Amino acid sequence: MTELTLTPPPPNNLIHQAVIVLGRFQPFHKGHISLINKAESWRMENSPKSKLILAIGSSNRPETMDNPWSYQEREEMIKSWINNQDGYVDVMIVPIPDIEDPPNWVSHAEKYHGKGGVFFTSDEYSADLYKKSNWKVIISPLTEREKFEGWRVRATAHMMSTISDIEAIRTVLSPSVHIDVINYLIRINGLRRLAFLGQGGEPVG
C-alpha cells in the first residue's frame, strides 16, 4: 500500500467555532447541496457569526475510480455552484488529507478546520467520531440518499465518459449533479478520464 502524505499541510490560521460540513465530494452532487443548504440555514438561525466550512476529505488520495478528481478540482466544483448562489459570503473550503486512523481522525481534522464548532452531517459514523471528541453534532438525513450515493453518481458519470454529445451528458447527469458542476467537468475534460480508470465504485462519498 502506498503511504499517504499529508497533502496539503494544515493552514496557518484556523477559524474556531465554525459550522463544519465534511465530505469527499467525488463528485460534488445535489445531495451535498441539500446538506450544505440545511447547514447554512441552521448557521444563519443559530450561529450567524460563525463561518460555514466545507471540508474536502481524502485530499491526498491517488487518482482511482473511487477518487477520480483532485481536491483542487473538487474545490472548483463547489465554487462553480457557490458563485451562482445568493448568500454564502461566510463560507470557506478546506481540504483535509486522510490518515487511515479513525480514532485520531477528529484531532487530525481539527488542525485543518479548527476546534469547538458544530459538526453538521448526514453520516452516522462520522457523527459518532465527532461526538466522542465532544463536538456538538447535528445529524440531518441526506435527501434521497439512494439516489445521491457517491458511487452511483460516479457510475453514471463513468457511463457518460465516452460520450461526445455535451447535451446528452447534461441531460443524463443533471438529475444528480448541478448544471454548473457539470459544465465545469465538461470544461476541464473531467469526465473523459473515468473511461480509463475502470469500472466500479463503493457505497460511500
Mean pLDDT of 188-205: 70
The predicted model scores a pTM of: 0.91
Is residue 5 situated within a structural domain?
Answer: no
- Contact present, 146 and 154 (Cβ < 8 Å): no
Residue 53 structural domain: 19-139
Decide which of 45 and 201 is more confident: 45
Decide which of 205 and 32 is more confident: 32
The tens digit of pLDDT for each residue in 92-147 reads 999 999 999 999 999 999 999 999 899 999 999 999 999 999 999 999 987 666 66
Decide which of 198 and 105 is more confident: 105
Q: In this structure, are 184 and 92 located in the same domain?
A: no
Q: In this structure, are 167 and 108 located in the same domain?
A: no
Q: In this structure, are 30 and 121 located in the same domain?
A: yes
Taking all residues of the chain, what is their mean pLDDT, rounded to a whole number?
91
**Pairing relation of β-strands 52-56 and 19-23?**
parallel
Q: How many domains does the chain have?
A: 2
- Contact present, 150 and 26 (Cβ < 8 Å): yes
- Contact present, 19 and 43 (Cβ < 8 Å): yes
The tens digit of pLDDT for each residue in 29-63 reads 999 999 999 999 999 999 999 999 999 999 999 99
pLDDT at 145: 64
Is residue 128 situated within a structural domain?
Answer: yes
Q: In this structure, are 48 and 127 located in the same domain?
A: yes
